[in-house]
């Protein structure tokens, strides 16, 4: 059993559900949107029947997955606004440093690279194996923002530990 209602969005693509503001990244692309509310979940659907967002109701206090793919696609259009985005603080450290370059063109390429990686991996896997995945993709700008070559550093670590273990 569910309840269906038309929803109105503010200029930030947010609507009110259970006294919480819910952000729907693609809401600005549609004129009429409806919300289907069940006791524990909700869906935001377009007039054509496309599901824009499906998640737990906010009062359930469940963790919500962020739509990284949609967020990064939006950043491709507005590359300068990445640091002002509501989602930037949720990126893991290595990825946020990777996107914190002053060059807008380089930043745009890096967002594109992350989008390509999101096809195969989730955001946590990209963070955990960041330098390996970036180098695997063959990017020429896979250096650490502070010119640290983590691949060489990580390659030296086992031999250093083995050397200490033999002493």
Residue of 79, 141, 139 whose CA lies nearest to 107: 79
How many structural domains is the chain composed of? Answer: 2
The reply to whether 72 and 152 lie within a common domain is yes
* 133: containing domain: 68-162
What is the pTM (predicted TM-score) of this model? Answer: 0.55
pLDDT string in tens for the chain (167-residue length): 789 999 999 888 889 998 888 888 878 888 889 999 998 899 999 988 899 888 888 876 666 677 788 888 888 888 888 888 888 888 888 888 888 888 889 899 989 999 988 888 888 888 888 878 877 655 545 455 555 565 665 555 444 444 444 43
Give the pairing of strands 14-17 and 20-23. Answer: antiparallel
Answer whether residue 80 is part of any domain.
Answer: yes
Helix (H, G, I), strand (E, B) or coil at 84: helix
Q: Which of 43, 60, 77 is the last residue of a domain?
A: 60
Answer whether residue 167 is part of any domain.
Answer: no
Residue of 54, 12, 25 whose CA lies nearest to 37: 54
Residue of 29, 28, 37, 31 whose CA lies nearest to 2: 37
Q: How many helices (H) and strands (E) in the chain?
A: 6, 6
Answer whether residue 126 is part of any domain.
Answer: yes
The reply to whether 19 and 82 lie within a common domain is no
């Amino acid at each position: 059993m569910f309840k269906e209602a038309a929803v109105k969005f503010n200029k930030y693509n947010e609507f009110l559900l259970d006294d919480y503001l819910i952000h729907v990244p693609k809401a600005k692309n549609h004129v009429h949107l409806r919300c289907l509310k069940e006791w524990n979940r909700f869906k935001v659907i377009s007039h054509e029947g496309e599901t824009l967002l499906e998640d737990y109701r906010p009062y359930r206090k469940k963790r919500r997955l962020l739509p990284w793919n949609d967020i990064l696609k939006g950043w491709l259009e507005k590359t300068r606004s990445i640091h002002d985005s509501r989602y930037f603080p949720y990126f893991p450290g290595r990825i946020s440093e990777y996107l914190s370059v002053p060059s807008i063109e380089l930043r745009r390429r890096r967002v594109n690279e992350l989008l390509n990686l999101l096809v195969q991996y989730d955001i946590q896997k990209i963070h955990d194996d960041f330098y390996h995945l970036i180098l695997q993709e063959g990017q020429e700008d896979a250096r650490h923002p502070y010119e640290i070559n983590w691949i060489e550093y990580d390659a030296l670590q086992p031999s250093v530990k083995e050397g200490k273990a033999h002493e």
